[in-house]
Structure 1
Amino acid sequence: MTALDPALHDVYTQISTATITTILLKKGLRNVWLRGAKPLVDARRRRVGPAFTLRFVPAREDLATPASWSSPTSTRAAIEEMPEGVITVVDAMGVQDAGIFGDILCARMHKRGVEALVTDGVLRDLEGVEASGLPVWCDGIAAPSSVTGLTFVGWQDPIACGGVAVFPNDLIVADRDGAVVVPQALIREVADLGLEQERLEAWIMREVGHGAKLPGLYPPNEETLARYRTETGDG
């Protein structure tokens, strides 16, 4: 597992998921926002970390049993492999009636230093999950356990979460707009472009506050960009 450079982590905490989707759109990547991964618990602060992936498939009665929770291939075993600082990304196929994790598993992830949990599925034990300290993005809450509708099959393989391909060590950024994936090969470039985009848009917002009209300002034309560079010392 490749740890994220602390300087890059700090940069990404300043870049919104909305900005990241725009940057990636300009590079031809349209499908990077994880559908169903809505902010549920402690989502006020932006969370950033490399993806640690888990995968469920549809339940099969001989495999999806309470006994499977003690299997070497179990969510419990996967949690013990999670390094500090990762964002756990779980492919739950969008299943709405089987909670993939509850309070105890979330508490253990938080204890291990997991940055956040992101899934297109649902959780259970909401009160305990809220108390666990683990930030969560998911598609809701359901009382039944995971084996009611899903079979866990492994971790640290490519997955599809919310209709988006996620590979281990891709970067995940999650905020109040949801969660996005930045391909590993683009992490540094998107950081540079995203930080500059945030600076530019902050300047544009100040111009809007001063009564500036939008045409030529947003998106900025060459005259506006020249003025921005002069006023911010980037020219």
Structure 2
Amino acid sequence: MPDEAIGTSARRAGAAETSPGISTPGITRPDPGVVARLRAIGTATISGELNRLGVRSAAITGPVPRTPGATVAGPALTLQCLPKREDLALADEYADPERSLHRHVLYHARPGDVVVVDARGDLESGIFGEMMLTYFAAQGGVGVVVDGCIRDFGSASRLGIGLWLRGTTPNFHSQTALMPHAVNVPVACGGTTVVPGDVVVADDDGAVVVPIALAEAVAERAEEHLEWEEFSRTRLAAGGDLRRYYPLTEAARPEYEAWRRSRAEQQQGAQRAEQREERR
């Protein structure tokens, strides 16, 4: 059964038989409109708003941006790794490959998804390489956050997906200290709990995790925050007083409200002009 996108009436996707005899759970996907709004906001503002909503720190610590300028937001597909035990892990990279669960998290990929990997901070195991990430990109995946390493970084970085990593290595996934253990279960990535389906937003500051139940509230609060910051930025750039404009003080609020009204009128005028042009 394939994973399905959902709207406000969330429901859990069932398990999918990702290979004959192997089933792994699907995820609940958030409203794509909310995801798009979060992507436009950015991680710094989201982190602050989550803190004000009671989530002390939503930032994933350790993985850093390796594809400068990339900004992604999408539901989390999760992969959990454990310390390798030789009687449970494959010794050969290509022996019975469908037993390797790092493949199976990618089989759930849909357009806009982000894979989050609990690789225990390990710097010797390349969880994914170019070939598997090529597959992920072709399914519409947009980003990968690994508390550990990938390999084939040079080629992988040119696939058009965002990469947030602790490092890189020539080794394959189970060559040294790790083995993939579970797909789409809650994981700890960089000291932060990630539940399958949570919205992961990542940019040049790093990656943050928005709990799916808070996504709408975070988007609403963060959009309001961005608006007053835009106003304050214009005033600060013109030489305004930092103490007055950042954060926005009550003394500056009437000025801000007038700016909002003026901007709304300008936007409405521009829309009417566009409509007149379309009717010609």
Give the TM-score taking structure 1 as reference length: 0.93
Q: Which amino acid aligns with 1:225?
A: R
Q: Which residue in 1 is equivalent to 2:236?
A: 208
Q: Which residue in 2 is equivalent to 1:229?
A: 257
C-alpha contact 2:58 2:210 (8 A) present in aligned 1: yes
Cα distance in 2 between the residues matched to 1:233 and 1:203: 12
Q: Which residue in 1 is equivalent to 2:130?
A: 103
Structure 2 residue corresponding to 1:187, chosen from 193, 203, 215: 215
Please tell me whether residue 34 in structure 1 is matched to residue 60 in structure 2.
Answer: yes
SS at match of 1:196: helix
Please tell me whether residue 59 in structure 1 is matched to residue 88 in structure 2.
Answer: no
Shift of 1:169: 0.9
Structure 2 residue corresponding to 1:93, chosen from 120, 126, 133: 120
Q: Which residue in 2 is equivalent to 1:14?
A: 40
Shift of 1:69: 5.9
Shift of 1:28: 1.9
SS at match of 1:131: coil
Shift of 1:153: 0.5
Larger radius of gyration: 2
Q: Which residue in 2 is equivalent to 1:47?
A: 72
C-alpha contact 1:55 1:91 (8 A) present in aligned 2: yes
Structure 2: 5+ residue runs without aligned partners?
Answer: 1-26, 265-280
Query: Which fold has the larger relative contact order, with Cα–Cα distance below 8 Å and residues 6 or more apart in sequence?
Result: 1
SS at match of 1:137: strand
Q: Which amino acid aligns with 1:104?
A: M
Which segment is superposed worse, 101-110 or 137-146? 137-146
Cα distance in 2 between the residues matched to 1:69 and 1:216: 65
Structure 2 residue corresponding to 1:129, chosen from 156, 159, 172: 156
Cα distance in 1 between the residues matched to 2:70 and 2:138: 19
C-alpha contact 1:107 1:133 (8 A) present in aligned 2: no
Q: Deviations over 1:97-139 (max 9, x none)?
A: 2111110111011011112111111111112212333321111
Which segment is superposed worse, 22-31 or 186-195? 22-31
- Alpha-carbon RMSD across the aligned residues, in angstroms, is 1.9
Cα distance in 2 between the residues matched to 1:72 and 1:145: 15
Cα distance in 1 between the residues matched to 2:70 and 2:254: 33
C-alpha contact 2:125 2:172 (8 A) present in aligned 1: yes
Q: Which residue in 2 is equivalent to 1:77?
A: 104
Structure 1: 5+ residue runs without aligned partners?
Answer: none
Q: Which amino acid aligns with 2:222?
A: G
Q: Which residue in 2 is equivalent to 1:161?
A: 189
After the TM superposition, list the runs of 4 or more consecutive aligned residues in structure 1 that deviate by more than 4 angstroms: none
Q: Deviations over 1:159-218 (max 9, x none)?
A: 000000000111100000000000111000000111111111111111101111111321
Which segment is superposed worse, 63-72 or 52-61? 63-72
Give the TM-score taking structure 2 as reference length: 0.79
C-alpha contact 1:73 1:154 (8 A) present in aligned 2: no
Q: Which residue in 1 is equivalent to 2:140?
A: 113
